[in-house]
Amino acid sequence: MTPDDDAANAAPAGATSVYFDGTSNRRRAVAPKLSDALEIREDGEVVARWAYADIRRADSPSGLLRLSCMTAPALARLEIRDETLAAKLVTLCRQLDDNLPNRKGVAAIVGWSLAAAVSIVLVVLFGVPLAADRLTPLVPDSFERRLGDVAEAQVKVVFDGKPCDNAAGQAAFEKLVGALRQSAGLDNSLQSGVLETSVANAFALPGGKVYLFDGLLAKAESPDEVAGILAHELGHLRHRDSMRELIHNGGTSFLIGLLFGDITGSGALIFASRSLVTSSYSRDAETNADSFAIETMHRLGRPAKPMGELMFRVTGKEAGKGLSIVSSHPLTEDRLARMSKADAGATLNGPPLLSAAEWQALKGICGKG
């Protein structure tokens, strides 16, 4: 059906327009008259008088002018199909389109949206790190430990790692961790272990858990290398970085999700922009943990440089492979350079952390016997 067909329906003989009074849905055939106001007449009697300034346009199909009035019942409508009458009314009613969205309205929406976006970005860049710093000390230890337990169970499943418990190796590992713990000034609630997995990594979990993967141990050539890595992870624990990262990541993903709403379907863009923000944040945390590791090692009279060498052995040279703004750690060669520089200015004459025999036992912690 074309819009023209129902013109017939709307205009019974004798009247040019249809009026709905807003209290009932009865179609009333009326004759509008334009005097000093719009007079709506039914059978010669005036049923409504609408001042031109109060008349507003309502949505309608093309070929039909539908009017409402600010002072009449909210849903009262006058429908006009007569083109000349409609054209006259449009010129008489100056505020006809005031209620409808227009260019100015759209510009306002765009402006406010951009303002909101800028404010969200500022909060993500400055507010969230600040909140994470301030909130982290307020989180009770017991809660953090619970988080750690949940995370630990997940990590063990993901990496399919069984804890290694070769007795001699375990003793050597505990000796190493104990020395570091005392130097770092951490209490003895610390839990640590070696997991049997070929991935070359180590990590700290909230609530005082440090895990070393066998894969990293296999690549290590001296106790100092492993000690440096462990000291780095203790640094994360000391600074409660996991907790801070959790608050930071949670806040960031929530805010960025709010920003993009449903426009992207789901998440690729959110993921990309979030990883940009959070990785810059995590680079700061890594640098701080490195400082902590250097101090801890120096307090024991041992060098920090071997840790850098071990990392370099694992990652290889990193510079020149595109911009590193999205990587979560600083460049390995930069870290290595920093450590050798720190070592140069320190007196390092402490005793070895492990004897040769203990070192061999530690290397074989995941072996049989």
**Residue 72 or 184 having the CB closest to other proteins:** 72
Nearest to 54, CA basis, from 85, 101, 95: 95
Interface with other proteins includes 352 (CB under 8 A)? Answer: no
For residue 78, the surrounding DSSP H or E stretch is strand 77-80
Q: DSSP label at 205? A: E
- Which positions from 131 through 190 interact with other proteins, judged by CB under 8 A? 143, 146-147, 149-150, 153
- Which positions from 39 through 58 interact with other proteins, judged by CB under 8 A? 57-58
DSSP SS3 for 132: helix
Q: Residue from 33, 134, 162, 321 that binds other proteins (CB under 8 A)?
A: 321
Burial class (CB in 10 A: 0-12, 13-18, 19+), 348: middle
The amino acid that residue 215 corresponds to is G
Q: Residue from 95, 264, 355, 360 that binds other proteins (CB under 8 A)?
A: 264
What DSSP assignment string belongs to 155-181?
Answer: HHHHTTPEEP--HHHHHHHHHHHHHHH
Interface with other proteins includes 364 (CB under 8 A)? Answer: no
**Residue 52 or 260 having the CB closest to other proteins:** 260
**Residue 96 or 362 having the CB closest to other proteins:** 96
**Minimum CB–partner distance for residue 23 and other proteins (Å):** 5
Only one residue has tokens 């000391």, namely: 238
Tokens of 257: 């999700």
Angle at alpha carbon of residue 277, lines to 272 and 280, rounded to 5°:
120
**Minimum CB–partner distance for residue 272 and other proteins (Å):** 6
For residue 152, the surrounding DSSP H or E stretch is helix 141-158
Interface with other proteins includes 92 (CB under 8 A)? Answer: no
Q: Residue from 138, 158, 323, 356 that binds other proteins (CB under 8 A)?
A: 323
Binding mask 58-77 for other proteins (x = CB under 8 A): xxxxxxxxx------x-xxx
Interface with other proteins includes 34 (CB under 8 A)? Answer: no
Among 16-24, 293-301, 330-338, 351-359, the segment contacting other proteins (CB under 8 A): 16-24
Nearest to 170, CA basis, from 195, 196, 193, 202: 193
Q: Residue from 46, 51, 109, 130 that binds other proteins (CB under 8 A)?
A: 109
- Which positions from 272 through 311 interact with other proteins, judged by CB under 8 A? 272-273, 276
Distance of CA 183 to the CA centre of its chain: 37
Nearest to 331, CA basis, from 343, 344, 315, 342: 315
How many residues bind to other proteins according to rule CB under 8 A? 79
**Residue 22 or 301 having the CB closest to other proteins:** 22
Q: Residue from 222, 287, 291, 327 that binds other proteins (CB under 8 A)?
A: 327
